[in-house]
Amino acid sequence: MKDKISSPASAGRREAIKAAAALSVVPLLGFPAVLRAQGDAIRLGHLTPRTGFLGQVGEYGFKGATLAVEEANARGGVLGRRIELIAEDSVNPQTAVNKAQKLIERDRVICLIGEISSASGLAIGEQAQRYKIPFFNTGCNSDALRGSNCKRYMFHIEGSNTMYTKTIGTWQLQKNLIKGARWAFLTADYAFGHDLYKVSSRFLEEHGGIILNNDFVPTNTADYSAYILKLRQLKPDFVYLNLAGVDQTTFLKQYREYNLPYELAGGVMDTAPFWAAGLENLSGHWQSLWYHGLTVPASRTFTERFVKKFGHPPENQAWGDYVGVRIVLQTVAETKSTEPRRLIEHLEKGAEFDLLKARKGRFRDWDHQLLQEMYVVKVKDKSRSKDKWDIFDLVETVPDAKGSLELIQPTQAENPCDMPAA
Amino acid sequence: MLLLEQIVNGLLVGSYYILLSLGLSLIFSLGGVVNLAHGAFYAVGAYLAWEIEKRAGFFGAMGLSPVGVALIGMLVERFALRRLYSKDPMLGLLFTFGLALTAEQALRIVWGSTGLPFAMPDALRGQLILGDFIYSYYRLFMLAVAALGVAGCWLLLNKTAFGMVVRAGTRDPEMVRALGINLRPTLTAVFALGVALAGLAGVLSAPLAGVQPAMGTEILTATFVVVVIGGLGSFWGVVLAGLLVGAVRGVTIYFYPPAAEASMYLLMILLLLLRPRGLMGERFEKFE
């Protein structure tokens, strides 16, 4: 039985197995979505992961941008021209670069909006600078994008890791939770996580916190039990998560499975992964760039329109891309131009924008970070939750109405940005 | 102590790899089809479970969802895959690859791209604490189900007439045909059984890792690795490899977490260098 006779099909089978190995690791190629209009429309390029571990968050970004474009067209467009959104899936940095080039060269977009992965964001920033086309980052958190890798043509609507850390940190300091507390970290092993670990551990240590351990966790990890066993041995006061996307969901569910008593905190919070985990698996205080439970009237209107169109509330990423499109269109309207240099100059001069928050926002001229309020939120008591989307109570706005918006921003020393000329 | 705890925990984690890989291995052994849609069937199992769970509870979903997946598998085999057996194996490969892409996109269209919350059944919540060790009841349950699945498959393959045809068909399909046995219904049944195991793994992992469209793509590579480590077509090899991959991962996380996901690939490379057939792989005439 063990001696074999070579059959004619054997070479083919061997090839098939090789190809299987190759194909099974090919990342899925996204399907481009295009909302086309005719004539000399103003074209906006939208680029964000719609598949992969950030895909579920990216889908919200796409929906937010779509809604903003539709609303603008319903009002008659800008400068008498229709707005056209050309959207692509940037599943990884390499794809992001290719699609950014395609959007700029072939589709002739006036700017790029979107992205979530900081690794892809870095790559898109390079392209934006090279082609001199503005890129409005709506989802990349890494400080490096605003600091050592800052670009004249890159603007940041998304908060930086430092902003997220300082938002929850301001609250933790108020409650005297940091000094002497022992923290165990889990950190996503890519650009975003490393950057976030750097700023969050620095903040805690500066204020007297003790860092017991940090584990770098590969993205797309399906099983956290081994990490959770380590946490159990460490017996920290807090577990600090620097994870994103699906990884956040998976960890939250499995952390509850083991029912450990150590309170959770984290460097960032996106609502979609928390929704996916389900309210019963959530606990603790978190920080948010925007939440659909915000009572600001403009914010409620946005939420209502979004629910009407898509049948579910927007998450914070939908807000980012919605506001991003509106910022671009307002800038075009105010400068009466789609010329990149003029747009950038206008933004650098401190043009103000309605961010659906209590205070208006503007970009810092030296690092292009949008100055804005953030929020501390608390996981809702299940009995008071209206529906599965209703997972947080707003605790406070940071900075409060009296505080300067610079309070949660990295200082110039923390954020070394040497902006290249336009 | 913690290291030992990690190893034991790793064995628990390996259980759904075993279910997935066993199905993949079965389909490959008999049909010669490298089923790149295996992960998609796993995802479909989880999504069906999400729908059924709302009406029939978790255990209802655990029973019914794999049956649903098996039915879908039978349709796929009967109306598509069957036409490709006698053709270039590359066609089967491309077909299942296309099927996987289509399935993922379909899940996204029907259920949205956001992950769906899937709660753990109340009956299985809680932890068993033995001294320094902690086990979640749910994972123990998962291990039990996987063990039953493995035992059931073993009995089916080794103690029934159906199993005899399958085993004979794996070794020498021409001879089986010459004996007047029609392998076609057997192929359909094996494909259905294989994807049902994937569906079952999907149901079991839903409360742990959540339900989201890309879940199948993510697990597929690991499944292949387990099958390759175990040895193509080897029943116990796959079981052993599933456990080994889980344990090695636990140990890696103990010493050097960033390599956690890479550990199984390293294991595969090392093993293939030392033993190209995999742990318990036999030489297969039709593949060599």
Q: Which residues of B touch A60 (CB under 8 A)?
A: 114
What is the ipTM score, two decimals? 0.88
Q: What is the DSSP string of A137-172?
A: ESS---GGGTTTT--TTEEE-SPPHHHHHHHHHHHH
Relative orientation angle of helices B263-274 and B215-230, to the nearest 10 degrees: 30
Taking only the tens place, the pLDDT of each residue in A41-89 is 999 999 999 887 788 899 999 999 999 999 999 999 999 999 999 999 9
Q: Confirm or reject contact between B32 and chain A (CB < 8 A).
A: yes
Distance CA B31, CA A37 (A): 49
> Which two three-digit tokens encode residue A117?
């992965």
Closest chain A C-alpha to B54 CA, distance in angstroms: 14
Q: What is the average per-residue pLDDT within A78-103?
A: 95
Count the Cβ atoms, other than its own, within 10 Å of residue A303. Answer: 20
Contacts of B177 by beta carbon, 8 Å cutoff, 6+ apart: B183
Three-class DSSP category at A354: coil
User: Which pTM was predicted?
Assistant: 0.86
CB B19 within 8 A of CB B204: yes
Report the amino acid identity of residue B207: P
Q: Is A390 exposed, middle or buried (0-12, 13-18, 19+ CB in 10 A)?
A: middle
Q: Confirm or reject contact between B95 and chain A (CB < 8 A).
A: no
Q: Which residues of A touch B207 (CB under 8 A)?
A: 253
Asked whether the beta carbons of residue A223 and residue B219 sit closer than 8 angstroms, the reply is no
Q: In chain B, which among 249-278 make CB contacts under 8 A with chain A?
A: 249-250, 253-254, 257-258, 260-262
Asked whether the beta carbons of residue A23 and residue B97 sit closer than 8 angstroms, the reply is yes
The band of A422, judged by pLDDT with boundaries at 50, 70 and 90, is: low
Closest chain B C-alpha to A303 CA, distance in angstroms: 18
pLDDT of residue B285: 47
Is the pLDDT at A15 greater than 80, yes or no?
A: no
Contacts of B7 by beta carbon, 8 Å cutoff, 6+ apart: B247, B250, B251
Q: What is the DSSP string of A235-260?
A: --SEEEEE--HHHHHHHHHHHHHHT-
State chain A's mean pLDDT as an integer: 90
Distance CA A179, CA B239 (A): 49
DSSP B119: P
Closest CA to A213 of A195, A192, A191, A237: A237
Distance CA A193, CA A191 (A): 6
Taking only the tens place, the pLDDT of each residue in B29-86 is 888 889 999 999 999 999 999 999 999 999 999 999 999 999 999 999 999 998 888 7
> Which two three-digit tokens encode residue A30?
């996204």
The band of A33, judged by pLDDT with boundaries at 50, 70 and 90, is: low
Distance CA A328, CA A111 (A): 8
The length of chain A is 422
Residue that is written with structure tokens 């809680």 in the block? B126
Closest CB from A23, A55, A229 relative to B113: A55
CB A275 within 8 A of CB A25: no
Vertex B126: Cα angle to B257 and B247 (nearest 5): 30
Closest CB from A216, A230, A259 relative to B127: A259
Q: What is the DSSP string of A15-69?
A: HHHHHHHHHHTSPPPPPPEEE---SSPEEEEEEE--SSTTHHHHHHHHHHHHHHH
Asked whether the beta carbons of residue B126 and residue A259 sit closer than 8 angstroms, the reply is yes
Q: Which residue of B18, B104, B113, B167 to mutate against A (max A Cβ within 10 Å)?
A: B113
Is the pLDDT at A171 greater than 60, yes or no?
A: yes
Q: How many Cα neighbours within 13 Å face the side chain of A311?
A: 2
Relative orientation angle of helices B215-230 and B235-255, to the nearest 10 degrees: 110
Closest chain B C-alpha to A412 CA, distance in angstroms: 32
Closest CA to A52 of A230, A219, A199: A219
Closest chain A C-alpha to B99 CA, distance in angstroms: 12
CA-nearest residue to A4 within chain B is B285
**Category of B53 on φ-ψ map: left (φ > 0), alpha (ψ -120 to 50) or beta:** alpha
The band of B141, judged by pLDDT with boundaries at 50, 70 and 90, is: very high
Strand locations in A285-418 (E): 285-288, 362-363, 370-371, 374-379, 392-398
Taking only the tens place, the pLDDT of each residue in A237-267 is 999 999 998 899 999 999 999 999 999 999 9
Closest CA to A88 of A122, A49, A53, A127: A49
Closest CB from B10, B205, B212 relative to A276: B212
Sheet holding A33-35, edge to edge: A33-35, A83-89, A42-48, A111-114, A135-137, A154-156
> Which two three-digit tokens encode residue A326?
């509106």
Closest CA to B251 of B269, B242, B264, B235: B264
Q: Which residues of A touch B115 (CB under 8 A)?
A: 56, 246, 249, 272-273, 275-276
- Sign of the four-CA dihedral B278, B279, B281, B283: positive
Alpha helix locations (H) across A77-142? Answer: 93-105, 118-131
In DSSP terms, B168 is beta-bridged to none
CA-nearest residue to A6 within chain B is B288
